[in-house]
Amino acid sequence: VNSSLVALTFISVIVSAGAFIGFYAGTRRKMDLEQWTVGDRGFGMLLVWLLMAGEVYTTFTFLGASGWAYSKGAPVLYVLGYQPLMYVVSFFILPQVWEVGRKYRLQTQADFFHVRYDNKYLAAFVALVGIIFIVPYLQLQLMGLGMIVEVASYGAIHRTPAMIISFVIVAAFVLTSGIRGVAWVSVLKDLLLLFSAVFVGLAIPYIYFGGIGRMFTELARANPAHLVMPGATTNLGHSWYISTVVLVAVGFYMWPQFFGASFSAKSSDTLRRNAVIMPFYSITMPLMFFIGLAATLIVPGLANGDLSMLTMVRKTFPAWFLGLIGGAGALTAMVPAGVMILTAATLFAKNICRPILWPGMADQQVTKLAKITVLVITAAALCSAIYSSPTLVALLLVGYGGVGQFFPGVVLGLYSKRATMPGVFAGVVTGEVVFVALALSKHDPAMGLNAGVIALCCNLGVVAVVSLLTTAQRGGFDEHSHVSIGA
């Protein structure tokens, strides 16, 4: 039987199963905005774990991690540096965010800024920045999905139709089932991802070298510089490593979609226990690095490092297994993409359109507009994925630099009564301007540091100075109970 047909059958079955679960999860439920965006705040620990893991372990895990290990070498270890730290940050921040979310019926990150700082323009700005940086992250998922399906089908399906078909499915089950559909698809996706990472990550070093230790011995002999900083790069040294770990550790849960996922939890304790067990999932990351590092010896000279994992699987395993990996990879892109589309659409309808453009909008109209926006955002991400092609990790790091600027506003909003609205507003604007200026002028890293960290330092400085110069009229959430967010 034709290899591409076998692989395609496996991919189609897995994607169809995912789509079925996604559609089924939303049946027999009334999809108002509360149910659609935060699952009626009723998700238990397992579902929150799956949803969070679904968003954390994305196409980046599948392709980007092995891709950077292949093309850059040791700098990829920043991933192992930030992952344990980001869960520590989430342990302390997310339960607090959930508490205020429940109290004020918050549904989005921008709602948080609106209630805490009592300013709809700050909330709209945060929503706009969130949407702007979600699009490259969404593009990352799309491009990864296209690559996976193209390689896993032995080139039988080109990446553009693969991206279009998959994202039409994603948009459809997001419209139908909201965040509940995405969470249930994560069950299948996480099972497949864990199996793929553990099996392939251990099997490839054993098949080609006789073990992980022997693989490193070979690597140390053939290309020792690849295993130590700055690897195959010239500018990603120790300062870049430390600054990137700091930026991503504090910035990770500043992605707007994680606020929505947090609000869907049944209790704040669910989020604490989730933060305790999540680092175990990270063990998939070093396994992905092993595949990328093994590929440097077995298939050197690949033009696109992001394809190293799939190339190794295609070279080593039969077609049905490649199809299985391809299907898992496709779901790995579809699940986080679903949450991102949903979040961006809700931010646009609820935090930009209603308060700024059409103040009289009813809740039902907001829901309807958000659903229409799902289609617009999906189309925008598809266009950017088809017409531009930076590497997956580069896209991800751009996003972190942008959303990381929300960190002072969120943390000071939770823990300090002295942070003022003008201070936080000026800080976020400064941080975004500095980051975008550095990134666009190709100064990332700048002075050896991640541009996002430089922008974050400027942001913190401005927040501190302006907050001290302005009057703290109101402080903390307790004094904002009059602000109505509505659902």
Partner 1 sequence: LFPAFSGVIHRSNLVPRSSSAQAIRWRNSVSADSICGNLLYRVLGLPFNFFWLITWLLLTPLCMWGVYRLETRAADAHREGDGRP
Which stretches of the chain bind partner 1, using CB under 8 A? Answer: 74, 77, 80-81, 83-84, 87-88, 91, 211-214, 216-217, 220, 224, 227-229, 238, 272-273, 275-280, 282-283, 285-286, 289
> In sequence order, what are the residues at sequence separation of 6 or more whose Cβ sits closer than 8 angstroms to the Cβ of residue 401?
247, 251, 435, 439, 444, 450, 451, 452, 455
Round to whole Å and give the CA distance between 22 and 169: 9
Round to whole Å and give the CA distance between 128 and 110: 9
Q: Minimum distance from CB of 453 to partner 1 (Å)?
A: 20
Q: Minimum distance from CB of 212 to partner 1 (Å)?
A: 5
Round to whole Å and give the CA distance between 438 and 447: 11
What type of residue is 135? V
Q: Is 268 exposed, middle or buried (0-12, 13-18, 19+ CB in 10 A)?
A: middle
CA distances to 63, 269, 348 from 260, rounded to whole Å, are: 26, 16, 14
Q: Minimum distance from CB of 211 to partner 1 (Å)?
A: 7
When the beta carbons of 57 and 117 are compared against partner 1, the nearer one is: 57
Q: Minimum distance from CB of 83 to partner 1 (Å)?
A: 7
How many other CB atoms are there within 10 angstroms of residue 352's CB atom?
Answer: 19
When the beta carbons of 24 and 91 are compared against partner 1, the nearer one is: 91
Instruction: Check residue 118 and report its DSSP letter.
Output: -
Counting Cα atoms < 13 Å in the Cβ hemisphere of 193 gives: 31
When the beta carbons of 283 and 460 are compared against partner 1, the nearer one is: 283
Q: Minimum distance from CB of 198 to partner 1 (Å)?
A: 14
When the beta carbons of 273 and 368 are compared against partner 1, the nearer one is: 273
Round to whole Å and give the CA distance between 264 and 267: 9
Q: Minimum distance from CB of 238 to partner 1 (Å)?
A: 7
Beta bridge partners of 43: 265
When the beta carbons of 66 and 83 are compared against partner 1, the nearer one is: 83
Counting Cα atoms < 13 Å in the Cβ hemisphere of 419 gives: 26
**Intra-chain end-to-end CA distance of the chain, in Å:** 54
Round to whole Å and give the CA distance between 57 and 459: 29
When the beta carbons of 182 and 278 are compared against partner 1, the nearer one is: 278
Q: Minimum distance from CB of 289 to partner 1 (Å)?
A: 8
What type of residue is 187? V
When the beta carbons of 104 and 241 are compared against partner 1, the nearer one is: 241
CA distances to 114, 115, 359 from 121, rounded to whole Å, are: 8, 12, 13
When the beta carbons of 105 and 273 are compared against partner 1, the nearer one is: 273
Q: Minimum distance from CB of 18 to partner 1 (Å)?
A: 28
Q: Minimum distance from CB of 70 to partner 1 (Å)?
A: 15
Q: Minimum distance from CB of 84 to partner 1 (Å)?
A: 4
When the beta carbons of 113 and 281 are compared against partner 1, the nearer one is: 281
Q: Minimum distance from CB of 207 to partner 1 (Å)?
A: 16
Indicate the helix (H) or strand (E) that contains 318: none
**Backbone torsions φ then ψ of 201, nearest 5 degrees:** -60, -35
Round to whole Å and give the CA distance between 287 and 293: 10
Q: Minimum distance from CB of 279 to partner 1 (Å)?
A: 5
Round to whole Å and give the CA distance between 62 and 57: 8
Asked if 392 and 143 touch (Cβ cutoff 8 Å), the reply is yes
Omega cis (within 30) before 336: no
Q: Is 386 exposed, middle or buried (0-12, 13-18, 19+ CB in 10 A)?
A: middle
Q: Minimum distance from CB of 64 to partner 1 (Å)?
A: 17
When the beta carbons of 7 and 74 are compared against partner 1, the nearer one is: 74
**Backbone torsions φ then ψ of 446, nearest 5 degrees:** -115, 130
Asked if 30 and 312 touch (Cβ cutoff 8 Å), the reply is no
When the beta carbons of 194 and 375 are compared against partner 1, the nearer one is: 194
CA distances to 415, 418, 459 from 465, rounded to whole Å, are: 18, 11, 10
When the beta carbons of 279 and 448 are compared against partner 1, the nearer one is: 279
When the beta carbons of 217 and 441 are compared against partner 1, the nearer one is: 217
